[in-house]
Structure formats: C-alpha cells, structure tokens
C-alpha cells in the first residue's frame, strides 16, 4: 500500500486498522543536517527535530505487534539524542542494538580533517523477547563470533581438542591479548588445544549451552593471536545479526552495499534521487526480523527502497511519502519492481516480477491552499489565492478576514512576507479532510472516494 500525504496524519489514519499488526518499521528520516539532500524541511533546529521525531515514534509504537521491531537510521549529529528519545518512547529495556553501517566507499576529502562514512541504526522491540532469534545469516556461510559487546563477562571451559587454531603451534601463557582473557596455560599442538582451556569474556553462551553445542558437533576456531574465538556448527542454524561481525561494521563483506551502490541502481532505472539506501541493507534486516506475509512499514519512504525490497521478499508493505516526487519516482519505481526489474537484490532473490499495490492519497483541504500559496509567483497570483482562501479555507478561529485585509502594513510587504502571513492563518488541523466531514456539502468528495474510504475502514 502506497500513501501520499502527511506522514503523521497518515499514521493516525492507519491506527484503527493496523494497531498491533506491524512486524517491522524501517525508517530513514531527515537527519537535521540542512544539507543531506532530503526534500523535507530539513532545516530544523535541534528541539524541533526531536519533537518532529517524537510525535511520529509515539504513534508508530502503537502500530507494532508485541514482537515487532523498529529500525531508525541516523547520522552522528543526532544519533545520541535520538537514542535517549527512543528510550523514552519504547523503554530502555526494549533496546536491541545500535547497528553501524559503512555507507560509503569514497575516500575522505583531503582538505577535511575527518569525514563520517558510517550511519547508525537504532533497533528497538515493542516488548523485548530474547527467546526470539533474528536470522542474520546461517552458519553454512561461515563461522561466527562467540563473544559480543554488551553481554555479561563469564568464564567458559573448552574441552581438550575442541579448538582449532589457525596460528603456529606454541605454548600459550595466561593473559589478555585483546577482549578475551586466557585463564590457564596450555599448548597448541597440531593446531589443537592439548588440554582444557578456560577463557573469560563477553560470551553469548553459558557453559551449559556450550556443552550442548559440543554434543551436536560444534567446534571452535581461533584465527589470530588476539584469541577472538569463533564457533562453527556442523548443521546450519539461524544466528542473530551482529553489531560487529568479525570486528567489521555492516559492510560489503556481509553483502551490504553503500549509498553509491544505491545511486547506481537508481540510475539503471532512470530515477534521479539523492541519498537513497541500497536494497541490500534493507533486505538484511527484513530477512533477519520478518517472515513472508509480515507487514513492513516505512513512513519516510523517499524513493521507495523499503517497499521495493519488501515486495521482492514476499512481505506486505505500507509506504508513506508526502512529497510530490512520489508520483514520478516512488510509484514508478514500484511499477518497475512489479515488472521484474533486475537491480538491487533481485538476482539474489531470483525476483522476476509480480504482485500489485494500491495507491491512496489523503484528501487535501487547507493543504491545497498552502501549495497554491507556495506556488504563487506574483502579488496578483497570491491575491487570487487569498480571496479564495478567505471564502473557502479553514482559518484559525482568531482570524478576521476583514481585519486581515485592512491591516495598514500588509500592503507594504514583499511577496515572501505576504506568503508567510497567509500561511500563518491556515488552521493546521484542517490541512487534510477528516473522514467524518466527507459528507459535508462544503467539500467536493466523489462517490468513489467515499466508497473507498468506507471500505478501507471496514464499514461497507
């Protein structure tokens, strides 16, 4: 489902139908940089940006299933403040992880001291359930780390010959070469530990779990003298996606592309859109968190990456975007997905097209006047909008049209100053038409629009 309109109002409009039904919310909101290419009003001040985010996160939380997850992209400028805000909305106990994504392969400009090439992805569950795994990858794709930042420090004992070493045979002393502490001396002989080894670290398993895994044929690997111990199962099982995998960020080593890859993909489809995300990172999380048929929501849809990937992966999706480019960028991209376009993750998923989507628009009211004000290129054009506005728009209750026209200084204002004055008297509560007002004869609402609205809310 593709929706054009103010995303805050659209989220509230969806609540009667979708409260408690969305498995994954994946958003890439404006970052409050003033220059990140978003065609929203990205020139927020800090407090306004946080209020903007909070209002939307609060209603988004209501749409999630109890086992639902929300992922929010952010850059370094606001990520710490966003984390505190999300702690407030979702609860600190429901924080999952802050994933770190390497978003660019381009070298930093030599004229700058530093340049960030990573983004942060805050992940929260609606109600944390540690028994439900995220399927990040399978062990058949390689071994996986046994320790992970954030786990409690514990000591594990590894039986004789249970660890395979990719370093030279030697005597190993007690010590802490990196994050893992070696608690007893032993010898590496023919690439194996000659006796039981006790290690202390932030392990993901307990001793009981370790022994169960060994009984199932799991063995352990040490690849360097840093002693970052890893495990390998004989049988493939799903494993959780990790913040750092093999001491790497979420990078191309995991099949996750960059912004440059996303731009290249869009160029192949003749779509011009700055700062789109690569399909591979969205696919990584959709695979990890959802199952076919689950609902995925993105209320900052932009060029449509989340919807495109969800469609290719057999998930139901809802995308919301208020900007006019939804018509010639977002919608057209999704049509190409249905037609079987082969960019992004299509080849990996063996995607050849299919499916449908429905397109809705929130019915505009004062929003139309706002757009006409912004488009006016002369005082006479703005005067025509003003006259229509005072006849038909919903104005703030304290606005008197006659007094407004007679203000002695209004006629001296520039075009831009007059626009600001007119925008200020539009009632923000009536930018879009409320469902309960669609039968009011003052509004032009077609029979088709009324029928569709009634069906959407299950009333017909």
pLDDT digits (tens, 9 = 90+) for 442-458: 777 888 888 888 888 87
Angle between helical axes of 279-289 and 259-268 (0-180°, round to 10): 110
Same domain flag for 159 and 16 = no
Task: List, for residues 148-186, the tens digit of each pLDDT value.
Answer: 777 789 999 999 999 999 888 899 999 999 889 999 999
Least confident of 23-37, 290-304, 324-338: 23-37
Same domain flag for 89 and 190 = no
Segment 241-248 shows an average pLDDT of: 41
66, two tokens:
């109890």
How many CB atoms lie under 10 A from the CB of residue 373? 20
Same domain flag for 23 and 163 = no
| pTM for the full predicted model | 0.68
Segment 258-272 shows an average pLDDT of: 68
Same domain flag for 9 and 128 = yes
Same domain flag for 208 and 117 = no
155, two tokens:
């000591």
Q: pLDDT-based confidence at 252, cuts 50/70/90?
A: low
How many CB atoms lie under 10 A from the CB of residue 299? 24
Same domain flag for 356 and 285 = yes
User: Looking at residue 132, what is its pLDDT?
Assistant: 62
Q: pLDDT-based confidence at 33, cuts 50/70/90?
A: low
- Give 184-237 as a DSSP string: S-EEEETTEESS-EEEEE-BSS-HHHHHHHHHTT-EEEE-STT---EEE-SS--
β pairing state of 295-298 and 316-321: parallel
Q: pLDDT-based confidence at 299, cuts 50/70/90?
A: very high
Quote the CA–CA distance of 301 and 79 in Å, as a whole number: 20
Q: pLDDT-based confidence at 433, cuts 50/70/90?
A: confident
Residue 455 lies in a domain: no
Same domain flag for 225 and 98 = no
**Residue that finishes a domain, picked among 361, 377, 394:** 361
User: Looking at residue 451, what is its pLDDT?
Assistant: 87
Torsion 429-430-431-434 (CA) sign = positive
Asked if residues 118 and 249 have their Cβ atoms less than 8 Å apart, the reply is yes
**Residue that finishes a domain, picked among 221, 239, 257:** 239
Spatial CA neighbour of 21 closest among 281, 290, 287, 285: 290
Choose between 33 and 229: higher pLDDT: 229
Q: pLDDT-based confidence at 141, cuts 50/70/90?
A: very low
Q: Where are the alpha helices (DSSP H) in 216-313?
A: 259-268, 279-289, 305-312
Angle between helical axes of 79-90 and 46-63 (0-180°, round to 10): 40
User: Looking at residue 255, what is its pLDDT?
Assistant: 63
Percent of the chain with pLDDT over 70: 81
222 forms beta bridges with 165
Same domain flag for 129 and 262 = yes
Residue 116 clears pLDDT 60, i.e. is over it: no
Residue 445 lies in a domain: yes
Element (H, E) at 166: none
Residue 35 clears pLDDT 60, i.e. is over it: no
**Residue that finishes a domain, picked among 361, 385, 405:** 361
Spatial CA neighbour of 122 closest among 27, 221, 227, 224: 27
Number of domains in the chain: 3
Q: pLDDT-based confidence at 410, cuts 50/70/90?
A: low
Q: pLDDT-based confidence at 300, cuts 50/70/90?
A: very high
274, two tokens:
């700055």
Highest mean pLDDT among 108-117, 148-157, 269-278, 378-387: 378-387
The mean pLDDT of the chain is 83
- Distance of CA 258 to CAs 116, 201, 265, 457, Å? 13, 32, 11, 40
- Distance of CA 77 to CAs 74, 119, 247, 455, Å? 8, 10, 24, 43
User: Looking at residue 257, what is its pLDDT?
Assistant: 65
Quote the CA–CA distance of 329 and 440 in Å, as a whole number: 34
Segment 308-313 shows an average pLDDT of: 96
Q: Residue 402 sits in which domain range?
A: 366-449
């Amino acid at each position: 489902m593709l929706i054009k309109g103010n995303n805050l109002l659209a989220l509230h409009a969806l609540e009667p139908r979708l409260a408690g039904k969305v498995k994954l919310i994946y958003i890439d909101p404006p970052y409050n940089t003033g220059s990140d290419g978003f065609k929203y009003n990205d020139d927020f001040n800090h407090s306004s940006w946080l209020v903007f985010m909070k209002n939307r996160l609060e209603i988004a939380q209501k749409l999630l299933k109890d086992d639902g997850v929300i992922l929010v992209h952010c850059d370094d400028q606001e990520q710490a403040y966003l984390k505190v805000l999300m702690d407030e909305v979702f609860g600190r106990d429901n924080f999952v992880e802050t994933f770190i994504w390497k978003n660019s392969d381009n070298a930093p400009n030599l004229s700058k001291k530093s340049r960030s090439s990573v983004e942060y992805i805050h992940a929260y569950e609606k109600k944390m359930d540690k028994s439900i795994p995220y399927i990040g990858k399978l062990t058949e794709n390689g071994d996986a780390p046994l320790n992970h930042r954030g786990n409690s420090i514990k000591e594990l004992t590894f039986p004789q010959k249970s660890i395979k070493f990719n370093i030279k045979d030697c005597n190993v002393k007690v010590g802490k070469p990196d994050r893992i502490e070696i608690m007893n001396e032993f010898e590496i002989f023919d690439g194996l530990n000659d006796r039981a080894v006790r290690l202390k670290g932030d392990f993901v398993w307990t001793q009981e779990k370790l022994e169960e895994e060994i009984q199932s044929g799991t063995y352990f690997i040490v690849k360097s003298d840093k002693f970052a111990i890893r495990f390998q199962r004989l049988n493939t099982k799903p494993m959780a996606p990790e913040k750092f995998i093999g001491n790497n960020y979420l990078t191309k080593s995991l099949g996750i592309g960059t912004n440059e890859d996303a731009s290249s993909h869009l160029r192949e489809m003749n779509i011009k859109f700055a700062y789109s995300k690569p399909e591979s990172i969205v696919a990584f999380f959709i695979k990890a968190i959802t199952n076919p048929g689950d609902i995925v929501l993105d209320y900052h849809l932009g060029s449509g990456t989340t919807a495109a990937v969800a469609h290719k992966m057999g998930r139901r999706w809802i995308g919301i975007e208020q900007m006019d480019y939804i018509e010639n960028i977002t919608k057209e991209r999704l049509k190409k997905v249905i037609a079987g376009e082969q960019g992004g993750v299509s080849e990996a998923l063996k995607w050849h097209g299919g499916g449908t989507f429905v397109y809705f628009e929130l019915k505009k009211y004062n929003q139309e006047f706002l757009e006409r004000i912004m488009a006016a290129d002369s005082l006479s054009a703005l005067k025509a909008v003003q006259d229509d506005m005072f006849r038909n728009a919903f104005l703030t209750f304290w606005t008197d049209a006659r007094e407004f026209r007679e203000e002695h200084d209004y006629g001296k204002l520039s075009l831009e100053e007059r626009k600001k004055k007119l925008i200020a008297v539009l009632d923000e509560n009536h930018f879009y038409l409320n469902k309960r007002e669609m039968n009011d004869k003052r509004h032009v609402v077609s029979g088709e629009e009324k029928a569709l609205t009634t069906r959407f809310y299950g009333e017909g």
